[in-house]
Amino acid sequence: MNEERYLLFDQYLQGEMTVEERSNFEKQISEDQDFASEFSTFKEVLRQLKTKFGHEQEREAFIENLSAISDKHFNKEKPKVVFMRPWYFAAAASVAILFGLLFFDYNQNPSFNDFNQPGQAHFTERSNTNVNLIQAEKAFNDKKFKEAVPFFESVLKNNKTAEIQYYYGVSLLQTIEYKKAEVVFNELKSGNSVYKEKALWNLALLKLKQKDYKGCKQILQTISQEYEDYDEVQELLHALE
């Protein structure tokens, strides 16, 4: 479900975010191609709606209905739906379908962004002498993954540990360097480090991001139930059924 993201897009466009929220939103737009693409499509949907119907009260009703449906999905509560003119709902749905956004499709395939949690790196707690590693950590934790990649590559020339490889692979995945990321995660999954299962999970996410749902499911089924975040594995497997 992407209703919460659509609401986020609307808040940004309507100037309803704080300075910090707006800054974080714009950073994600610049770093996440999928997110940026969805936002661009959402703006086009609104443009089409505005062209057809320029009434603010219908927009408010549409957003409130979307909020109610999102609450029902995420909180399992009975939604309070505001009355919306049938002609407006039909128009909104037709434009949404035209641009591939099925707002109310509960059976849609899962999204990479729904499961994307790159986490935080903490290399400097163990080493404060490697400048490149410090810079890699800072860029990674600030979600500036493109900046992190060359720092990781420099470190790995002389210090190829599973931990550094893992966060390098995650950075590559976030910046759509699929082939390089796959090489890194495949090497980790073949080893015996604590990052073996994490590498498998990220290989599954890599397939998910490329909309290879069959390949994603196959990899998920190889992850051990001992994996610390196996509940996420089960959730994604369920979403793929």
Identity of residue 199: A
> What would the two tokens of residue 127 be?
């080493």
Per-residue burial over 8-36, b if 16 or more Cβ lie within 10 Å, else e, is bbbebeeeebeeeeeeebeeebebbeebe
Which pLDDT band holds residue 67 (cuts at 50, 70, 90)? low
Third-level CATH fold of 117-240: 1.25.40
Q: Is 169 helix (H, G, I), strand (E, B) or coil?
A: helix
Kindly list the domain boundaries of the chain, sorted by start residue: 3-107, 117-240
Per-residue pLDDT tens digits for 179-211: 999 999 999 999 999 999 999 999 999 999 999
Model-level pTM? 0.59
Per-residue pLDDT tens digits for 13-48: 888 889 888 999 999 989 888 888 888 888 877 776
Is 204 in contact with 216 (CB distance < 8 Å)?
A: yes
Count CA within 13 A, CB hemisphere, residue 3: 18
CA 74 and chain centroid, separation: 17
Cα–Cα distance, 202 to 221 (Å, whole number): 13
What is the overall mean pLDDT for the chain?
Answer: 80
Rounded to the nearest 5 degrees, what angle is found at the Cα of 26, between the Cα atoms of 235 and 5? 35
- 162 versus 241: the higher-pLDDT residue is 162
Per-residue pLDDT tens digits for 129-181: 689 999 999 999 999 999 999 999 999 999 999 999 999 999 999 999 999 99
Count CA within 13 A, CB hemisphere, residue 132: 13
pLDDT value, residue 13: 86
Exposure of 85 by Cβ count < 10 A (0-12 exposed, 13-18 middle, 19+ buried)?
middle
User: Over the Cα atoms of the chain, what is R_g?
Assistant: 21
pLDDT value, residue 137: 94
pLDDT value, residue 237: 95
